[in-house]
Structure formats: structure tokens, C-alpha cells
């Protein structure tokens, strides 16, 4: 089995970005989005994230596996959340007058036998808006997260972390992990073959859950112990070539351009403004400064 | 070179490059271990493989010369190497006494950083030596650590890659390189630091013959440049082809011999280290007896025992490709393995040897054609079902050993195959006795030496009672003495119908097998008795096999008779 | 397997120190974690309905309890990030959660100094591992209350329990097996 990163070598504005910019954008946006459930705010973020994603020139055929996973997870989260919480809407939303659209038949727990009874589950304008907002929030974060693996060469990882102020040694350890990864995967595959040749069938593990888990040991133990014991030689190899004696230089370099600095500045400023607005929202109970604390129900849904 | 300290190589040329006087070393933590814990393995017959301390080593080597440090595994040669490159005492602690001077300067108190500019060390396993993900990152690694500015690094990388004709590979992933290429890249990573002394730790392990040629060329080039080279190697025959100026022979941590190569050949013991055939022959009174002693093919079944007429294993026009769009890697191989045979499957790396035998095990399935075991089509059998008929021991025992005790390790296969408890006990006992590992029964396989682990690995396949046994590179990683005794264990394995070795060791094929199958680029290009198949020098050259001195001697003898 | 000698263990006193040893084990741990996840993802391990078994979880636990909290945290966090790079999307709060698992497991070093030659020490390792999984996956799951706007009960039932329960079972069973094997292996190298 060959290890394949999903990285796709291509020239796009996002490929050209400094990897630190991509990480900063993801963090700044997700941390901003945590602070509000305002439909319009999230819609703006969603639109921006789609634009950003379009710039990557990634094709559906390349990314579909990741997207299937994201769609599945988002679906589960949004709907499970809706039903488990009984349609509750999280965070400071004006729920004084819910606008009920229709009722869903549902079941709820009761104290008496058979402990389950039918009930009505109100579906409101507010909960519809919330579900929409929540879906857009998850997808907008995904639109910023997916480009990181697909447009960043893993070779640049170590130096990117170094550039974010992480120490030489830890940053280098990231590069080194990527060097070990294909060897590790090869070893796991070899071990699995070796054990299959001894009648081991990983798809037909016997026993209960505990027995099954214990029967995974033949594929894990040889590789882990082998690498740990073999690490002594790697340590020697690194010491003999002076690793860790002082400040090191890096052959790989990041080309930070003005656009990178501008985006980072904008992202951090945006995050600061959102945070300020969020804090102010606690003091002003109405008006524009309270906006992040409202749901901002769009007109077409408004009753 | 802005940040490097003064280079110690600019010293008077008449001083020896390496001067060692009364050097002794003893690992501290190991001693503590012995004192605090009276080790529980005192009961076992075979000693644990422990790193050797060294005692009273003295030699000197002039600049530009080549020296071989020889001796069996565990003789202390690796410890000596660590003293020379500074890992002792910088990284491993213990009691060190005596004197080491490199280029006339004592290395006492020098840090690894200072020493790295004088000594370059090539470790045994290029997989461990190579730190960079790409060729240029690997070459840059040492310079990065010394803080060399990026511009200068680029220049020096370009220079050294040109020197070694590796420019073409500059941006390639190191993982995808062949064994020989990896060694060259590792060498580039050392050369770029411009040391004047090079240490090679068992460089001939894991290399096929083309890679050995490249390595020889590299060492010759280093010597021509005036560098000093020390090789630690137990494969003395291979190392002697480089014509070392001096040889140091070690045994049990002590120096047994130091002197010129010619003298060494007179005193060396051919049962301890692998020597060219000439030296071995001296031990015998006449050539016929030598021949009998050396060539003893393993017989799995005597003729009169063979009941069935069907071949034990038959490949019928086997083709294979990994996936429908991939290139075909096995192009129609047909051959039979008969009961009683011992066969060497030879061929260069990537010739399809492992791919072919994996078809027999069901780990891979032929794209077209079929594999039969005792007449039975394997396509309808699962890997587990095949495992009870044919055993495959992977090259590295580390790939399969996992159980808490040797006994549990051996029971793993039979349990998977759902043998009855009595049968499990009987077959495990039998396998333990066959490979003489009953004494380790309760020990963890991880606590055993490499050779012992190898025997456990074979026993744990034998316990499944397959009648055909395939061994991948059975001799890799073992020194000559343990290799020979290991092969003797195989000779006495009970109840086998056929034994196959996948190897690129020609001497193994000549000495222990009756038949050779030669593979090249997924095709069978030779099939017959070893001497017959291996007699054509062109075929050997094409298949990347280097004639050994034993083969040359046997061929010369054969021609003389004819 | 190479026989290795009694190399000085400089960091055995300071469990937070980072030397060449730690760098190599960090990198190995992360590669093993990502590699094992990659291999098992493609294997379709048997598991209860929608919850897939994640045997890889034992890697950050093992590297944490044996080599300390920094190595554990790196193994978990970077290993998971590399796995993200292989699957195509980054869930950063889960990367942080995995780092916490290794970090907390690594605190077992305070009691054991990374040696597991007695049952008591192995139980200590198991204890810290369970706490690590609870805290780490707790962080990841409950941070989704903010990031994805889940309710507490939704985060608990859809994320926290399905993620942590199998991990605890896997960790509790596989960790002692690995520690036992590791013990035997280092006894041979003379560092036991």
C-alpha cells in the first residue's frame, strides 16, 4: 500500500498562499463563528468561504471522499442535535414568541410503562433558521479546512509550524514524522501479510468485543516495538549529524508575500471585531451592538 | 563556511589519520544492570546478546588508507566504531580509557558537533541513516543543524550531488529509492560535511550486487581523494575485494590481530568469518573433501519416501498485476516444485520473487493462470486455508513476533487454524524441538537475539504443519557463524516436502540447494542445478548477481574435469 | 532489530525535556498513529454498527506513558493532523483533543518514570490513559457545543460517548499488551 497524501500539485491562488495564512484563516473564522448564531453573519462567512474554496480550483472528483464524510457528519450532528435537544436553539435567541410552522409526530420518555409515548414536536421558524445557520456554519468551516490538506505540500509543514513560533526541535519532528510515515505504513502492511500467512483473519476476529480487540495485537505489537527498538539507530544518525546542537537553518523556505500579510491582518482584525461585538452584546440588549446575539431571521421565513 | 570551527584536518601529513592506543570501554548502565538485577536468564543455555565492552585496542592508520575491522557479531566492533565517532562518550556513558587521535589531535573532550567535521559515519541500515524526506533535504540535514546559511547550503548540495551523479534525483522522495541509491544518497549527506575520515558500519548488508559495485566505486573515490576509510564488516570476503591496507580482527571485545591483509589471510579462521574460498580450502587436505564439506544440499525427502507423483507446488502460466491499470509484474511463469526438493529462488531486487511466492500463499492472486498445491487449485482456498499447507517466513522476524511468550507465539498459527488442543501441543513441541528453542519456551520473543528470533519465527510457521516451507532471505542479518549453524537447523527439519529460499546469496544456493530458479523482470530465465544455471557469466551479469569466490572455484574445477 | 546499548537518558528526570530522543519518538509516534489509522481505515474492521474501531488510539497512550507528556501530546495531535491530511479535512478541535489524550497519559511518568515492570505501574498507566481519553475527547466533543452549536446532550450522545467508549476499551486492552512487549524488548537492550 502506498501512502498518498490528498495534496494536489497545482497552481492556484490558494496553493500560493503561505500555509500559515490558511491555518490562521481557519482558526480566526472558526473562533469567530463560535460566537454567534446570527443568520446573516454566518451567511456572509459562508459566502466568503465558498469564494475562497472556488479559488483553490479543486475538482469534485478529487475531493468527493472528504465531502461525503463532511456531509455525513454534518447531517448527523445537525439532525441529532435537533431531535435530542427537542428542537432547542442554542445561545441567546429571542424565543419568547416561537412561530410554530407545524408539528412533527415524535416519541418521548415517560415514567410509566412502556416508558415511551407519542408526543408532538414543534417545528418553528426559529428552529428552521437555526438548522440552516448550523449547516452553513459547518460547511463554511469545512470550506476553509478542506483546502489545507489539498493545497498544502506536506513538506512545508515543519517550516510553517516553525514560522508560527514553535521550537526548532518540535517543528523538525513534524518533518520527520512525514519521513517515517511511508515506512510505517509499509511495515503495517508487511506485518499484516505475515500474520495472514499464519492464518490470522482480521475480518473474522473471534470472541466478544474484548476478545476481538485483544486479537488486534498481532498487527500492532510487531510494528510498534520494532520501530521503538530501531529508533536508537535513528537517534545515533541524527546526533552524528549534529541535530540539536544549536539554532538550525532550514533548506525549505516559505515565501511570505504582501497578500499573505494582508490576509493574516484582516483575519485577526475580523476576529477581534467579532469578539468585541459579542462582548458588547451583553451590555446592550437591543440595537446594532446586540446583533450577534440575535438570530436574524430572514424575511422569507419570517411569519 | 562561516560558522564552522577550525577544521582539524589541516595538520602535518605524516601523522596517522587514526591513532588508537590501549582503548578500553565498558558500558555503565549495563554494569549497573548486572549488579542490581542478577539477570534471570542465567538459567538459559544461550547467552543473551549484549553489547560488548572493548578492552585494550591499539592500532594506527595513515591518511588515505583503507582499514577493515572484522569479527563476528557481538565482538565489540560496533562499540569501537562508537568510540571513534564520538557517540561514546558523548551519548553513551561508561568507563573509557586509553587514547584516540584523529589527524594527530586527541578527541578527548570534543563534542559531536566538532567531530562531525572530521568523521562521517554511515550506519548499517540506510533506512535509519536517512533523515530527510527528499534527497536534497537529506543532504542538507547536517548543514541545517550547523546553521549554514541557505544560499551556501544550496551551492554545496548542488556540488555534492553532481560529484555522485545524483543530480537527477534531487527532489525525489528518499522512501522510493532502491537500496543502492539510498546508500549513495546517505553518502552524499556525509560528503557534504567534508569529513576526512569515513566509517562504514556493515555496508554490505541488504545490498544486491549492483549496489555493492556502486558502493565499491564510492569507497575507491573517497580513497583517491585522500580520505581515510574504516569499514566494520563480518562479510570479510566482500570487504576484502576492496583490498584494505590493514585489517583489525576482534573477538570477545579484544583485538586478535592487527596487520596487513596478506598476514590476516594466513591466520584467519574460516569457520568464524566468511573468507574467500582460497583461505577455506587450506583447512582441508584435498579438494574433494572440501567440496563434500561445502556442498551439502538439503534433502527434504528421500526418493523412496515420496508417495505422491503430483508436484508439491505448481505455477501454471501465472501472470500478475496490481490492479487493472497497473503494469504487469509477473509475465507468465510456469514451473513445478517436486517433493523432496530444496530450491533457491534467485533474482535481483524487484524481479518478482516475493510477488511470485505470495501467489502461492494467496496473499496475492494471479491475474491469470493458476497455482496448485498438491494438485489442488489455490484460487478457491482462503489465505488461512493455504497457511495450513504452505508456510512462509518473512525476512524480518520483527514483522511477525508479538506474543508474550515463545510458546504462545508458536501456538498462534495452529489456533488460527483451529487445531484441536492436543494437536496444538504436539505440533508446538515438535516445532520447538526442531529449532532448539524449547529452552526459551516461557521467555518473551522480544528478549531474544536476532538469530534466536529468526528461529522462533520459523518455528511459529512450522507449527502449522505445512508441508512446504518458503523462507525469505533466511541468512540476512546474521554473521557467518550463526548463518551456518542456522542452515544446519533447517537441514534437520522434519516432515517437509519442499523447502524454498528466496535469496540473493549465491553461496547459499550453491551449498544448500539442489535446484535454482532464476527470475528476472517477472520472467523465469533459469531453472536447473545451481552450478548449471549459474555457469553463464552473462546471465549473472544481467540478473545483477556477482560471482562469489566459491562459484568461481567450483566452475574452474568443473571445467578442469571436463 | 538492532541491539542498542545503554544510551544515557538525559530526560529521565525532567519529564518535560526535549532532546534528540524525544524528537525521534515524537516523530515515530505521530507516524505510527497516522499510519495505523490509515491502514485500519481501509480495512473495515468489525465494530458495532456505525462506530468504527480505532485501534490507533493505543499509540498516543503508549508513547505518552513511556516517553512523557510532550511526546504523547505530539503523537496524538500531529498524528491526528497528519491523518487529516490523508483524509482531506481538518477538524482542529479533534486534533487538540487527541493531543490532550497523549499529554494526560504522559503524566503517568510522574509516578512511573516510564518503566512498566510491575502490575501496579501498568494500572497507573491505564488510569492516566482513561483520564486522558475522557479529558481529550471531552474537550473535542464539548468544544463542538461552541464550534457547531450543539446542545450538551447532543454532544454527549452523538460525539462524546460513541468516541470515548470504544477508545477506552481499546486502550485498556491494547496498552498493557504493548507495555509488556516493550518491557521484554528493553530488557534485552540493557536499559530495563
Mean pLDDT (chain C) is 83
Do B460 and A198 make contact, defined as CB atoms within 8 angstroms?
Answer: yes
| B379 vs B495 pLDDT, higher one | B379
Segment among A269-278, B27-36, B269-278, C98-107 with least mean pLDDT? B27-36
User: What is the least distance, in Å, from the CA of C107 to any CA of chain B?
Assistant: 25
Contact B463, B494 (CB under 8 A): no
What is the pLDDT at residue B44? 36
* Sequence-distant (≥ 6) Cβ neighbours of residue B307 within 8 angstroms: none
Q: Note whether A44 and A133 are same-domain residues.
A: yes
- Among the partner residues A194, A230, A248, nearest to B394 by beta-carbon distance: A194
pLDDT above 70: percentage of residues in chain B:
90
User: What pLDDT digit, counting tens, does each position of B227-254 carry?
Assistant: 999 999 888 888 888 889 999 998 888 8
Q: What is the largest CA-CA distance in chain B?
A: 78
Do A225 and B398 make contact, defined as CB atoms within 8 angstroms?
Answer: yes
Q: Which of residues 151-170 of A touch C (CB under 8 A)?
A: 152, 154, 167, 169-170
Calculate mean pLDDT across residues B295-311.
70
Do B50 and C3 make contact, defined as CB atoms within 8 angstroms?
Answer: yes
Do B402 and C180 make contact, defined as CB atoms within 8 angstroms?
Answer: no
The answer, for A224 touching chain B at a CB cutoff of 8 Å, is: no
Residue B199 has pLDDT above 90, yes or no: yes
User: What pLDDT digit, counting tens, does each position of B69-82 carry?
Assistant: 988 877 888 889 99
Euclidean distance between CA atoms B478 and C167, whole angstroms:
40
Containing structural domain, residue A146 = 18-152+258-303
- Among the partner residues C32, C85, C169, nearest to A184 by beta-carbon distance: C32
In a domain, A1, yes or no: no
Which residues from chain A sit within 8 angstroms of residue B111, using beta carbons?
A: 245
Calculate mean pLDDT across residues A73-100.
70
Environment class of A11 (CB within 10 Å of its CB; exposed 0-12, middle 13-18, buried 19+) = exposed
Which residues from chain B sit within 8 angstroms of residue A187, using beta carbons?
A: 399
Calculate mean pLDDT across residues B34-63.
60
Gap between the terminal Cα atoms of chain B: 65
Angle B283-B516-B237 from CA coordinates, rounded to 5°: 35
In a domain, A9, yes or no: no
- Among the partner residues C159, C170, C181, nearest to A213 by beta-carbon distance: C170
C152-175 per-residue burial string, b: 16 or more CB within 10 A, e: under 16: eebbbbbbbebbbebbbbbbbbbb
Calculate mean pLDDT across residues C45-63.
71
Residue B34 has pLDDT above 60, yes or no: no
Contact B366, B360 (CB under 8 A): no
Do B363 and A191 make contact, defined as CB atoms within 8 angstroms?
Answer: no
Residue among A186, A81, A203 at smallest CA distance from A137: A81
User: What pLDDT digit, counting tens, does each position of B179-193 carry?
Assistant: 788 888 999 999 998
Gap between the terminal Cα atoms of chain A: 57
What is the pLDDT at residue B484? 83
- Among the partner residues A33, A217, A235, nearest to C20 by beta-carbon distance: A235
Q: Note whether A229 and A107 are same-domain residues.
A: no
The chains found to touch B (3+ Cβ pairs under 8 angstroms) are A, C
Q: Which of residues 234-253 of A touch B (CB under 8 A)?
A: 234-253
Segment among A138-147, A180-189, B477-486 with least mean pLDDT? B477-486
The answer, for B175 touching chain A at a CB cutoff of 8 Å, is: yes
| B545 vs A206 pLDDT, higher one | B545
Segment among B3-12, B381-390, B551-560 with least mean pLDDT? B3-12
Interface test with C, best of A75, A173, A175, A180 (most C CBs within 10 A): A173
**Extended strands (E) in B51-176:** 54-61, 66-70, 94-102, 105-106, 119-122
Residues of B with a Cβ under 8 Å from any C Cβ are: 27-30, 33, 37, 48-51, 79, 82, 91-94, 124-125, 128, 398, 402, 404, 443-450, 453
Which residues from chain C sit within 8 angstroms of residue B128, using beta carbons?
A: 2
Q: Note whether A117 and A176 are same-domain residues.
A: no
3-state secondary structure of B18: strand
User: What pLDDT digit, counting tens, does each position of A153-205 carry?
Assistant: 888 888 888 888 888 899 999 999 988 998 999 999 999 999 999 998 877 77
Segment among A248-262, B540-554, C46-60 with least mean pLDDT? C46-60
Which residues from chain C sit within 8 angstroms of residue A136, using beta carbons?
A: none
User: A–B: how many Cβ contacts below 8 A?
Assistant: 163
Which residues from chain B sit within 8 angstroms of residue A244, using beta carbons?
A: 145
Which residues from chain C sit within 8 angstroms of residue B402, using beta carbons?
A: 181
User: What pLDDT digit, counting tens, does each position of B403-456 carry?
Assistant: 999 999 999 999 999 889 999 999 999 888 888 888 888 999 998 888 889 889
pLDDT above 90: percentage of residues in chain B:
26
Do C147 and A154 make contact, defined as CB atoms within 8 angstroms?
Answer: no
pLDDT band at A91 (very low <50, low <70, confident <90, very high): low
User: What is the least distance, in Å, from the CA of B472 to any CA of chain C?
Assistant: 16
Q: Note whether A51 and A147 are same-domain residues.
A: yes
In a domain, A129, yes or no: yes
| B2 vs A219 pLDDT, higher one | A219
Which residues from chain B sit within 8 angstroms of residue C182, using beta carbons?
A: 446
User: What pLDDT digit, counting tens, does each position of A12-24 carry?
Assistant: 989 999 988 998 9
Interface test with B, best of A195, A241, A244, A248 (most B CBs within 10 A): A241
Q: Which of residues 114-133 of B touch A (CB under 8 A)?
A: 116, 121, 123-125, 127-133
What is the pLDDT at residue B478? 78
Which residues from chain B sit within 8 angstroms of residue A220, using beta carbons?
A: 402
What is the pLDDT at residue A273? 93
Sheet holding B246-251, edge to edge: B119-122, B197-201, B228-232, B66-70, B246-251, B254-260
Residue B37 has pLDDT above 50, yes or no: no
Do B444 and C180 make contact, defined as CB atoms within 8 angstroms?
Answer: yes
Contact B439, B362 (CB under 8 A): no
For residue C164 the three cell numbers come to: 470515548
Element (H, E) at B291: helix B287-294
What is the pLDDT at residue B45? 36
Mean pLDDT (chain B) is 84
Q: Note whether A81 and A217 are same-domain residues.
A: no
Q: Note whether A52 and A138 are same-domain residues.
A: yes
CA dist B41 → B46, B47, B401 (Å): 9, 8, 20
Contact B530, B344 (CB under 8 A): yes
The chains found to touch C (3+ Cβ pairs under 8 angstroms) are A, B
| B444 vs B304 pLDDT, higher one | B444
Residue B477 has pLDDT above 80, yes or no: no
Q: Note whether A303 and A233 are same-domain residues.
A: no
Residue A125 has pLDDT above 60, yes or no: yes
Interface test with C, best of B446, B476, B477 (most C CBs within 10 A): B446
What is the pLDDT at residue B156? 93
User: What is the least distance, in Å, from the CA of C149 to any CA of chain B?
Assistant: 41
Do C6 and B50 make contact, defined as CB atoms within 8 angstroms?
Answer: no
Mean pLDDT (chain A) is 84
For residue A214 the three cell numbers come to: 485483544
What is the pLDDT at residue A51? 95
**Spans of all domains in chain B:** 305-389+466-561, 401-463
In a domain, A105, yes or no: yes
Which residues from chain B sit within 8 angstroms of residue A222, using beta carbons?
A: 398-402
Give the position of cell 540506510: B126
The chains found to touch A (3+ Cβ pairs under 8 angstroms) are B, C
Which residues from chain C sit within 8 angstroms of residue A58, using beta carbons?
A: none
User: What is the least distance, in Å, from the CA of B355 to any CA of chain A?
Assistant: 12
Most confidently modeled of A118-132, A208-222, B37-51, C54-68? C54-68
Q: Note whether A33 and A132 are same-domain residues.
A: yes
Q: Note whether A266 and A133 are same-domain residues.
A: yes
The superfamily in CATH containing domain B305-389+466-561 is P-loop containing nucleotide triphosphate hydrolases (3.40.50.300)
3-state secondary structure of B367: coil
Q: Note whether A38 and A142 are same-domain residues.
A: yes
Beta bridge partners of A102: A123
Calculate mean pLDDT across residues A205-225.
84
- Among the partner residues A235, A239, A253, nearest to B150 by beta-carbon distance: A253
User: What pLDDT digit, counting tens, does each position of B381-402 carry?
Assistant: 889 889 888 999 998 899 999 9
Do A240 and B392 make contact, defined as CB atoms within 8 angstroms?
Answer: no
Segment among A32-46, A145-159, C41-55, C160-174 with least mean pLDDT? C41-55
Do B363 and A197 make contact, defined as CB atoms within 8 angstroms?
Answer: yes
- Among the partner residues C45, C85, C90, nearest to A5 by beta-carbon distance: C85
What is the pLDDT at residue B302? 64
Residue B2 has pLDDT above 50, yes or no: no
What is the pLDDT at residue A95? 59
Which residues from chain C sit within 8 angstroms of residue A183, using beta carbons?
A: 31
Calculate mean pLDDT across residues C95-123.
90
Most confidently modeled of A67-71, A189-193, B2-6? A189-193
Work out how many domains chain A is built from and give that number: 2
Do C46 and A212 make contact, defined as CB atoms within 8 angstroms?
Answer: yes
Contact B203, B125 (CB under 8 A): no
pLDDT band at A97 (very low <50, low <70, confident <90, very high): low
Environment class of B253 (CB within 10 Å of its CB; exposed 0-12, middle 13-18, buried 19+) = buried
In a domain, A8, yes or no: no
User: What is the least distance, in Å, from the CA of B416 to any CA of chain A?
Assistant: 5
Calculate mean pLDDT across residues B220-224.
90
User: A–C: how many Cβ contacts below 8 A?
Assistant: 239
Domains parsed from chain C with CATH numbers: 17-189 (1.10.1760.20)
Amino acid at each position: 500500500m502506498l501512502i498518498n497524501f490528498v495534496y494536489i500539485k497545482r497552481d492556484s491562488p490558494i496553493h500560493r498562499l503561505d500555509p500559515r495564512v490558511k491555518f490562521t484563516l481557519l482558526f480566526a473564522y472558526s473562533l469567530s463563528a463560535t460566537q454567534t448564531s446570527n443568520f446573516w453573519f454566518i451567511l456572509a462567512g459562508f459566502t466568503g468561504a465558498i469564494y475562497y474554496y472556488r479559488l483553490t480550483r479543486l475538482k469534485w472528483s478529487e475531493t468527493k471522499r472528504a465531502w461525503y464524510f463532511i456531509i455525513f457528519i454534518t447531517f448527523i450532528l445537525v439532525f441529532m442535535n435537533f431531535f435530542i435537544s427537542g428542537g432547542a436553539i442554542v445561545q441567546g435567541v429571542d424565543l419568547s414568541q416561537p412561530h410554530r410552522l407545524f408539528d412533527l409526530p415524535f416519541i418521548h420518555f415517560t415514567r410509566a410503562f412502556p416508558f415511551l409515548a407519542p408526543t408532538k414536536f414543534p417545528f418553528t421558524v426559529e428552529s428552521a433558521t437555526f438548522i440552516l445557520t448550523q449547516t452553513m456554519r459547518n460547511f463554511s468551516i469545512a470550506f476553509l479546512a478542506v483546502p489545507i490538506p489539498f493545497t498544502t505540500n506536506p513538506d512545508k509543514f515543519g517550516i510553517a509550524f516553525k514560522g508560527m513560533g514553535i521550537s526548532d526541535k518540535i517543528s523538525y519532528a513534524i518533518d520527520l514524522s512525514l519521513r517515517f510515515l511511508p515506512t510505517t505504513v509499509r511495515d503495517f502492511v508487511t506485518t499484516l501479510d505475515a500474520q495472514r500467512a499464519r492464518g490470522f483473519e482480521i475480518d473474522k476476529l473471534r470472541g466478544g468485543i474484548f476478545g476481538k480487540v485483544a486479537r488486534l495485537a498481532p498487527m500492532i505489537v510487531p510494528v510498534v516495538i520494532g520501530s521503538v527498538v530501531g529508533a536508537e539507530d535513528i537517534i545515533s544518525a541524527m546526533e552524528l549529524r549534529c541535530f540539536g546542537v544549536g539554532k538550525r537553518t532550514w533548506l525549505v523556505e516559505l515565501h511570505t508575500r504582501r497578500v499573505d500579510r494582508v490576509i493574516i491582518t484582516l483575519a485577526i482584525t475580523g476576529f477581534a471585531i467579532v469578539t468585541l461585538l459579542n462582548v458588547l452584546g451583553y451590555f446592550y440588549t437591543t440595537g446594532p451592538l446586540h446583533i450577534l446575539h440575535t438570530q436574524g431571521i430572514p424575511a422569507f421565513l419570517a411569519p | 563556511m562561516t560558522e564552522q570551527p577550525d577544521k582539524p584536518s589541516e595538520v602535518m601529513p605524516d601523522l596517522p589519520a587514526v591513532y588508537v592506543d590501549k582503548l578500553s570501554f565498558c558500558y555503565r548502565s549495563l554494569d549497573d544492570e548486572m549488579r542490581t538485577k542478577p539477570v534471570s536468564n542465567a538459567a538459559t543455555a544461550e547467552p543473551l546478546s549484549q553489547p560488548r565492552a572493548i578492552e585494550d585496542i591499539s592500532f594506527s592508520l595513515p591518511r588515505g588508507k583503507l582499514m577493515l575491522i572484522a569479527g563476528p557479531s557481538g565482538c565489540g566492533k560496533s562499540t569501537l566504531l562508537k568510540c571513534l565517532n564520538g557517540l561514546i562518550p558523548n551519548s553513551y556513558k561508561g568507563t573509557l580509557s586509553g587514547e584516540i587521535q584523529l589527524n594527530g589531535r586527541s578527541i578527548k573532550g570534543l563534542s559531536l558537533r566538532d567531530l562531525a567535521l572530521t568523521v562521517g559515519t554511515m550506519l548499517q541500515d540506510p533506512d535509519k541513516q536517512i533523515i530527510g524526506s527528499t534527497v536534497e533535504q537529506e543532504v542538507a540535514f547536517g548543514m541545517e543543524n550547523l546553521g549554514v546559511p541557505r544560499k551556501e547550503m544550496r551551492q554545496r548540495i548542488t556540488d555534492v550531488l553532481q560529484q555522485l551523479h545524483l543530480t537527477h534525483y534531487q527532489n525525489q522522495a528518499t522512501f522510493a529509492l532502491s537500496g543502492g541509491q539510498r546508500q549513495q544518497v546517505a553518502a552524499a549527506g556525509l560528503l557534504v560535511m567534508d569529513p576526512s575520515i569515513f566509517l562504514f558500519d556493515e555496508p554490505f548488508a541488504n545490498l544486491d550486487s549492483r549496489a555493492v559495485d556502486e558502493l565499491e566505486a564510492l569507497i575507491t573515490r573517497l580513497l583517491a581523494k585522500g580520505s581515510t576509510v574504516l569499514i566494520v564488516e563480518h562479510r570479510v570476503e566482500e570487504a576484502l575485494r576492496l583490498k584494505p591496507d590493514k585489517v583489525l580482527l576482534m573477538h570477545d571485545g579484544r583485538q586478535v590481530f592487527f596487520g596487513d591483509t596478506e598476514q590476516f589471510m594466513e591466520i584467519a579462521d574460516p569457520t568464524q568469518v566468511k573468507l574467500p574460498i582460497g583461505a577455506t580450502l587450506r583447512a582441508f587436505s584435498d579438494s574433494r573433501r572440501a567440496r563434500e564439506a561445502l556442498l551439502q544440499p538439503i534433502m527434504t525427502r528421500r526418493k523412496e519416501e515420496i508417495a505422491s507423483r503430483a508436484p508439491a507446488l505448481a505455477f501454471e502460466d501465472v501472470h500478475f498485476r496490481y490492479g487493472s491499470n497497473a503494469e504487469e509484474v509477473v509475465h507468465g511463469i510456469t514451473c513445478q516444485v517436486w517433493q523432496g526438493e530444496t530450491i533457491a529462488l534467485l533474482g535481483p531486487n524487484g524481479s518478482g520473487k516475493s510477488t511470485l511466492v505470495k501467489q502461492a500463499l494467496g496473499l496475492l492472486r494471479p491475474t491469470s493462470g493458476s497455482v496448485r498445491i498438491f494438485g489442488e487449485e489455490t484460487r478457491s482456498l482462503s489465505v488461512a486455508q493455504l497457511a495450513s499447507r504452505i508456510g512462509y517466513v518473512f525476512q524480518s522476524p520483527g514483522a511477525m513476533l508479538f506474543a508474550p511468550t515463545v510458546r504462545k507465539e508458536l501456538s498462534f498459527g495452529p489456533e488460527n487454524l483451529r487445531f484441536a488442543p492436543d494437536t496444538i501441543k504436539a505440533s508446538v513441541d515438535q516445532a520447538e524441538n526442531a529449532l532448539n528453542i524449547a529452552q526459551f519456551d516461557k521467555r518473551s520473543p522480544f528478549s531474544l537475539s536476532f538469530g534466536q528470533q529468526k528461529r522462533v519465527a520459523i518455528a511459529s510457521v512450522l507449527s502449522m504443519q505445512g508441508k512446504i516451507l518458503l523462507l525469505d532471505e533466511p541468512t540476512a542479518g546474521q554473521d557467518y557463524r550463526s548463518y551456518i549453524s542456522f542452515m544446519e537447523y533447517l537441514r534437520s527439519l522434519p516432515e517437509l516436502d519442499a523447502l524454498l529460499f528466496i535469496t540473493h546469496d549465491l553461496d547459499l544456493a550453491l551449498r544448500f540447494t539442489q535446484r535454482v530458479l532464476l527470475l528476472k523482470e517477472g520472467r523465469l530465465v533459469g531453472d536447473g542445478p545451481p552450478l548449471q544455471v549459474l555457469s553463464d557469466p552473462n546471465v549473472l551479469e544481467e540478473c545483477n548477481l556477482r560471482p562469489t569466490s566459491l562459484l568461481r572455484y567450483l566452475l574452474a574445477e568443473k571445467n578442469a574435469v571436463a | 532489530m538492532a541491539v542498542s546499548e545503554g544510551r544515557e537518558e538525559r530526560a529521565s528526570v525532567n519529564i518535560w525535556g526535549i532532546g534528540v530522543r524525544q524528537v525521534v519518538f515524537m516523530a515515530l509516534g505521530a507516524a505510527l498513529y497516522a499510519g495505523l489509522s490509515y491502514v485500519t481505515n481501509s480495512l473495515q474492521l468489525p465494530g458495532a454498527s456505525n462506530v468504527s474501531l480505532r485501534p490507533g488510539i493505543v499509540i498516543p497512550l503508549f508513547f505518552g506513558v513511556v516517553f512523557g507528556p510532550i511526546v504523547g501530546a505530539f503523537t496524538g495531535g500531529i498524528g491526528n493532523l497528519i491523518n487529516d491530511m490523508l483524509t482531506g479535512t481538518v477538524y482542529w478541535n479533534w486534533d487538540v483533543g487527541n493531543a490532550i489524550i497523549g499529554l494526560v497519559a504522559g503524566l503517568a511518568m510522574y509516578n512511573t518514570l516510564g518503566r512498566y515492570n510491575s502490575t501496579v505501574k501498568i494500572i497507573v498507566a491505564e488510569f492516566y490513559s482513561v483520564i486522558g481519553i475522557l479529558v481529550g475527547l471531552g474537550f473535542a466533543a464539548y468544544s463542538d457545543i461552541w464550534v457547531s452549536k450543539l446542545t450538551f446532550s447532543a454532544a454527549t450522545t452523538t460525539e462524546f460517548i460513541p468516541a470515548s467508549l470504544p477508545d477506552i476499551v481499546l486502550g485498556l486492552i491494547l496498552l498493557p499488551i504493548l507495555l509488556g512487549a516493550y518491557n521484554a524488548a528493553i530488557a534485552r537492550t540493557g536499559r530495563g
